[in-house]
Structure 1
Amino acid sequence: MAALSVEGLNKTFRGGLFEKDRQVLRDINFSLAEGKTTGFVGSNGAGKTTTIKCLFDFIHPDSGSIKFFGQSINSDVKTRIGYLPERPYLYEFLTGVEFLKLHWNLCYGSNMKDFSARAEESLRKVDLMEAKDRRLRTYSKGMLQRIGIAQAILTRPDLLILDEPMSGLDPDGRAMVKDILKEEQKRGVTLFFSSHLLQDMEELCSDLVVINKGQILYTGALQAFMSEFHSLEKAFQVQKNREASRG
């Protein structure tokens, strides 16, 4: 069974009075094999974040089917998924540990069993134990990104979806995030993360989903992609050539 399967996903944003409708996703199809790490790669504005928002029904697609572990999104399935948006909204008046507690309560209600141990585990992984009782408004941008990752891994999810998880991090922060993702890989988690940097994918991923201008260019093994195209630039040029020939 696939951890995530997406079939025929389309999304159009309606224009205003003097604006044209803008179709941002066109017949998106891909699936994630359980236990594997899949990179979702494309240039800025390619449709990565819109696709991910559709997965969680944050925005409603025009058409298409989305299944997590063979089911539509529901409260039970959500407890198996960890998620970090591209620009997470964090309640700045909460401390780090209070923020994690809020997320835990949203997942499990008032049952606080194992919370303390899980919170400490997550905070240590992102090197924020010493800052756990500080208000989030005092955190740096890199620290906010790390506390966001801490909440994503807090419940030990089976599927981890991260939208640009290394955005805004310095080299040390990027290395830390990669180490965390490698630990999650060892735990057998299915990982799906987006980036516009192929270098991140080469280091962590076995599979790729490549998107450009709202269309899927490639799904499959990373090595096969690299053998065929050598670079994203070449893949995008192939797509341009195909569009030109159809025109």
Structure 2
Amino acid sequence: MTAPATVVPAVTSPVTAGTAVRTQGLTKRFRSGQVAVDGIDLLVPRGAVYGFLGPNGSGKTTTIRMILGLVRPTSGQAWLLDSPNPADVLPRVGALVEGPGFHPYLTGRANLARLDAADQTSDARTADRRASEALERVGLLAAEGKPYRQYSLGMKQRLGLAAALLRRRDLLVLDEPTNGLDPQGTREVRLLIRELAQAGTTVLVSSHLLGEIEQVCTHIGIMSRGRLLLQGPRDVIDSRGVARVAVTVAPGHVATAAGVLRVLGLDVSIEELTLGAELGTLAPARIPEALVHAGVDVTGFEVRRPSLEQVFVELTGEGFDVAR
């Protein structure tokens, strides 16, 4: 049986004060009685790259749709860029939710032009330049004249990203942005997210591919079965769980090393020349210091903390897609 999870409160980003997304008791219950989102308190600090993680069906997309005002919550409240009314701030928000949808017989550029023209806050004088820049950023400039219906799944996903990047956004919300992309496209999206964050855009990226999120996020939120089980800064989440130490010593030094570790209060396991133990509250630096002082020839020393995948499994008892 999985132990009840404790939500780690998210903290304000050390770089930028305030929140880009905040919810309180946000809940969505469908007519069938299914609870898709169960009273979550999401907090995305401004300036963060927030990885919204969870298996397919965990409630991530429904949460995003409520935040953006696309779905009305059953109860609870959401604030987007400090506004309780998403319509007031949507021009400052770029979003790609549940895959892009465009006119099939228009070209990629023409589809962007239609979207841009519908935005009353955009500057028509710079529309062509902004479309070109957006297409170039996602690698579609060479295919701008091709009808959308001829685009591959990955190209459609890229065009959706281009639409979200037609102008500078304070917040970018990406739901499964690497869906349909090849490894090179996936790497490009990671680089794009980093560039946007460095330029001051807050990014909320939802994914069931943990390996992709691990590489870019400063903050993490983990969803499972409609509940937000854990959220907070990446370093706080990385420090969860029991850390273990692994020490490798030269032949003939194992017994002495084991004795030193036991004196330090550690319960030691031995596998050939490697000794392992749960670190507990002991400062890691004390271990090699004590071993060297005892004359042990240390050839390797490593502190191993639970991976994000292990944290997820510990919380939910479920597996996770860690690679495409």
Instruction: Note if 1:131 corresponds to 2:148.
Output: no
CA-CA distance at 1:135 after TM superposition: 0.8
2:30 aligned to 13, 22, 25, which one?
13
CA-CA distance at 1:239 after TM superposition: 4.5
Instruction: Note if 1:215 corresponds to 2:227.
Output: yes
CA-CA distance at 1:73 after TM superposition: 3.0
Which residue of structure 1 aligns with residue 117 of structure 2? 105
2 CA distance for matches of 1:111 and 1:124?
A: 19
Does the CA contact (< 8 Å) of 1:81 and 1:158 recur in 2? yes
1 CA distance for matches of 2:236 and 2:213?
A: 13
CA-CA distance at 1:153 after TM superposition: 1.1
Task: Give SS of 2:82's match.
Answer: coil
- Give the letter aligned to residue 238 of structure 1: L
Alignment of 1:1-247 (within 5 A): 1-15=18-32, 21-108=33-120, 111-229=123-241, 230=306, 231-239=308-316
Query: Residues 47 and 112 of structure 1: is their aligned pair in 2 closer, same or farther, counting only changes over 3 Å?
Result: same
Task: Give SS of 1:97's match.
Answer: helix
- Give the letter aligned to residue 312 of structure 2: A
In proportion to residue count, which structure has more helix?
1
Higher RCO, 1 vs 2 (CA within 8 Å, ≥6 residues apart): 1
Does the CA contact (< 8 Å) of 1:3 and 1:69 recur in 2? yes
Query: Residues 113 and 76 of structure 1: is their aligned pair in 2 closer, same or farther, counting only changes over 3 Å?
Result: farther
- Output the TM-score relative to the length of structure 1: 0.90
Structure 1, gaps ≥5 residues long: 16-20, 241-247
Q: Which moved more, 1:126-135 or 1:65-74?
A: 65-74
Name the count of aligned residue pairs. 235
1 CA distance for matches of 2:192 and 2:79?
A: 26
Does the CA contact (< 8 Å) of 2:67 and 2:86 recur in 1? no
1 CA distance for matches of 2:215 and 2:98?
A: 20
RMSD: 1.6
Which residue of structure 2 aligns with residue 18 of structure 1? none
Does the CA contact (< 8 Å) of 2:68 and 2:86 recur in 1? no
- Output the TM-score relative to the length of structure 2: 0.69
Does the CA contact (< 8 Å) of 2:68 and 2:80 recur in 1? no
1 CA distance for matches of 2:165 and 2:150?
A: 22
Query: Residues 223 and 197 of structure 1: is their aligned pair in 2 closer, same or farther, counting only changes over 3 Å?
Result: farther
CA-CA distance at 1:237 after TM superposition: 3.6
Does the CA contact (< 8 Å) of 2:54 and 2:222 recur in 1? yes
2 CA distance for matches of 1:46 and 1:147?
A: 26
Whichever of the two has the greater Rg, that structure is 2
CA-CA distance at 1:232 after TM superposition: 3.5
**Sequence identity percentage:** 34
Structure 2, gaps ≥5 residues long: 1-17, 242-305, 318-324
